[in-house]
């Protein structure tokens, strides 16, 4: 009996010790959890490119205006119905015209504004800008036919000559573009493309004349008439509008969380500004504020 009682008392003591250990362990775990707190949610601590923005820019460019096409059209318009435009043999008068393009190096300044949204590292947005040409927006080119062209008709031959002067210049332009970039921390390279509206001035002067030579062998007198103008005209168009497209690439850098700087190249093409095709390359720098 004594032995059995000793065994029973031993089991009871062991159970009491185990219960005590469990009770001690639970408060320790609870205290440990209260010290550590819950695990924080993941948060992106990088710069945020999303939002509305605006700024100013300035730069230089290279402009080319194809003035030859305008000069030829003016010649065709003024010579309409005359023999020199549609000769039975030989070359039509407008086909001799060879005017060099107007080339210039414009200096510009302007403003821009847009909105963009960041999706992880991708940044997609829309931007409009206005640029004013401060200087070097265009020029003029002249051409004079270096020889007379003989157009023979019954009884006489006309020695035909012509000259032209074409002027073209850009005053300002607006673009509306989509943008797509990739953020590398505080730096974002991007590409852009959209529509362009260009305003400028054009003018074309055209003069043509003949010296008529008698070729009628039936008369007894050979004669040559002095030179006289057939047409002499100047036509101008100020504030003319041309529509085209624009594309480019650039890079922006966040100087602070709200202030950024950019460098950008753009290619702009207008098929007709008052009859003159215009191509413009620009390199611009700017600074802006992001809201």
For 200-254, the pLDDT digits (tens) are 999 999 999 999 999 887 777 788 899 999 999 999 999 999 999 999 999 999 9
Residues ≥6 apart with Cβ < 8 Å to 61? 105, 106, 107, 108, 280, 281, 282, 283
What average pLDDT does the structure give for the chain?
Answer: 88
pLDDT of residue 223: 86
Distances (CA, A) of 203 to 76, 161, 166, 277: 16, 21, 6, 13
Residues ≥6 apart with Cβ < 8 Å to 222? 214
Residue 51 banded pLDDT, cuts 50, 70, 90: very high
Residue extents of the structural domains in the chain: 1-35, 51-290
* More confident: 101 or 20: 101
> What's the pTM?
0.79
Residue 71: name the closest of 92, 37, 100, 50 by CA.
100
Mean pLDDT of 34-52: 65
β partners of residue 202: 168, 237
Mean pLDDT of 30-53: 63
Residue 19 has pLDDT above 80, yes or no: no
Q: What is the pLDDT of residues 148-193, one digit of tens each?
A: 999 998 889 999 999 999 999 999 999 999 999 999 999 999 999 9
- For 221, the 3-state DSSP assignment is coil
Residue 21 has pLDDT above 80, yes or no: no
Specify the residue for token string 């000069």: 71
Residue 38 has pLDDT above 90, yes or no: no
β partners of residue 167: 140, 203
CB 261 within 8 A of CB 286: yes
Residue 90 has pLDDT above 90, yes or no: no
Q: Which two tokens stand for residue 33?
A: 């959890």
């Amino acid at each position: 009996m004594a032995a059995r009682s000793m065994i029973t008392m031993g089991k009871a003591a062991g159970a009491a010790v185990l219960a005590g250990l469990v009770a001690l362990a639970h408060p320790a775990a609870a205290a440990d959890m209260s010290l550590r707190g819950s695990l924080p949610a993941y948060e992106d601590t990088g710069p945020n490119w999303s939002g509305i923005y605006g700024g100013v820019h300035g730069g230089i460019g290279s402009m080319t205006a194809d003035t030859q096409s305008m000069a030829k059209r003016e010649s065709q318009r003024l010579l309409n119905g005359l023999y020199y435009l549609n000769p039975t043999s030989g070359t039509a008068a407008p086909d001799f015209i060879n005017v060099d393009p107007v080339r210039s190096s414009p200096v510009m300044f302007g403003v821009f504004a847009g909105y963009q949204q960041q999706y992880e590292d991708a940044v997609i947005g829309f931007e409009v800008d206005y640029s004013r040409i401060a200087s070097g927006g265009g020029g003029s080119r002249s051409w004079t036919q270096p020889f007379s062209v003989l157009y023979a008709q019954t009884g006489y031959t006309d020695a035909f000559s012509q000259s032209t002067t074409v002027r073209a210049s850009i005053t300002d332009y607006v673009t509306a573009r989509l943008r797509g970039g990739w953020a590398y921390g505080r730096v974002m390279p991007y590409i852009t493309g959209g529509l362009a509206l260009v305003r400028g001035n054009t003018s074309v002067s055209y003069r043509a004349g003949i010296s008529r030579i008698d070729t009628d062998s039936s008369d007894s007198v050979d004669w040559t008439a002095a030179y006289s103008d057939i047409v002499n005209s100047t036509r101008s168009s100020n504030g003319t509008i041309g529509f085209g497209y624009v594309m480019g690439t650039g890079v922006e850098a966040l100087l602070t969380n709200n202030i950024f700087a950019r460098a950008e190249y753009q290619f702009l093409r207008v098929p007709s500004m008052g009859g003159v095709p215009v191509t413009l390359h620009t390199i611009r720098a700017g600074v802006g504020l992001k809201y």
